[in-house]
Amino acid sequence: MATKANSVDMLIIGGSDDFNIKYLYERARQLGIDAIPQIFTVQNRPRISYDVLNNSFTINDIPIQARSAFIRPHMHLANNEKKIADYKISSEWFSIYMGWILSNKDILVFNRRFFTGNTVNKLFTLRRALEVGFEVPETYYTNDINFITQKTLKNDFIQKPVDGGDHTKEISELTENVKQDQESLNRAITFQEKLETPEMRIFRVGNQQLAFDLYCDDLDYRVQQNAKLEYRGENIPEDLAKMNFELTEALGLEFAATDLKVCSKTGGYKILEVNSGPMFKGFDQVANGKLTSAILENLLL
């Protein structure tokens, strides 16, 4: 049976040692505002799950809807520990909450325009991709082990970091190491429907779009660096080119690379992510310098 959604006036999100967040929550209570605090440390966090395709967000198994949100930057979540790993964890949490907020235009929040254009939020990007017509793989952001287990019983998934920066891995590498009574992960992850090769990477450079096909038997071609690249140039399916230009335009990106892979069920392409600062040397060498020429010409001519 579905759990009834908890609809509140405000979510107040921040770190346990941020006295501003605690004070705001107390003031909200004094004024009779229905608010839920999301105040946590690196060691003590709620179980959260975000379903990209269905745009549903749960906290400790309860679906959440909110009229507004107040969120403080993630550096306050790790103020005591001062460890690089802890800052990484808090950054990932900030990305999930902010991505959910940005994906719901009816949630009132300060600085929406800034956070929309300040960085490429992966969760928000996939929601925008759906809006312009891209097919998006089944994708979840969560630290809830029960949520992961229930979903992965039915389908084949991979796991990767919320903010990127590490290799894609099989979901079994995670679930096999989970303790029997463990309810949540130390770090939230992205887990996503597994797609097939070839992978297509579409570079947008100014108003040009140049594409490459990438063939590799490895789950993540970056592990052994043995991928085979083929230059497609502007030979991009018309619908993908149109949607990619519209998506990158919406994200404010004039230079970017969009990654897509093939769905084994439909044979069509599904979008994985958009990179705002992609690597390009290896691709340019396969294209005989056409990619870097486009970069330089767009900036200088």
159 touches 189 (CB < 8 A)? yes
Q: What per-residue confidence (pLDDT) applies to 1?
A: 35
Q: Please state the φ and ψ torsions of residue 30, each to the nearest 5 degrees.
A: -60, -35
Domain match, 210 and 183 both? no
**Is residue 53 located within the same domain as residue 153?**
no
- Number of compact structural domains in the chain: 3
Same domain membership, residue 265 and residue 226: yes
Task: Give the type of residue at 298.
Answer: N
Tokens of 165: 């920066």
CATH number for the domain that contains residue 81: 3.40.50
Residue 220 pLDDT level (bands cut at 50, 70, 90): low
The reply to whether 51 and 97 lie within a common domain is yes
142: Cβ contacts below 8 Å, ≥ 6 apart? 47, 48, 49, 50, 148, 188, 189, 191
CB 57 within 8 A of CB 111: no
Could you tell me if residue 175 is inside a domain? yes
159, β-bridge pairs = 169, 191
Last residue of a domain, one of 193, 222, 249: 193
Whether residues 227 and 150 share a domain: the answer is no
| Domain of residue 242, residue span | 196-300
Residues 204 and 287 in one domain: yes
Residue where a domain stops, chosen among 171, 193, 215? 193
Domain end among 159, 193, 227:
193
Tell me what pLDDT residue 69 has: 95
The radius of gyration computed from the CA coordinates of the chain, to the nearest angstrom, equals 20
Is-contact 151 51, C-beta < 8 A? no
**Domain identity same for 55 and 104:** yes
pLDDT range class, residue 42, cuts 50, 70, 90:
low
Is there a single domain that holds both residue 201 and residue 184? no
pTM recorded for the entire structure: 0.88
Q: What is the pLDDT of residue 2?
A: 45
Q: What is the pLDDT of residues 192-207, one digit of tens each?
A: 999 998 999 999 999 9
173 pLDDT more than 90: no
Number of Cβ within 10 Å of residue 259's Cβ equals 16
Decide if 1 is inside a domain. Answer: no
Buried b (16+ CB within 10 A) or exposed e, 164-195: eeeebbebeebeeeeeeeeebbeebbbbbbbb
Residues 114 and 10 in one domain: yes
Q: What is the pLDDT of residue 233?
A: 95
Same domain flag for 104 and 59? yes
Do 267 and 293 lie in a common domain?
Answer: yes
Same domain, 200 and 189: no
Please identify which residue in the block is written with the tokens 């004039």. Answer: 254
Look-up: residue for tokens 């994708």? Answer: 139
Token pair listed for 177: 């190491």
* CATH number (domain holding residue 283): 3.30.470.20
| Residue 7 three-state SS | strand
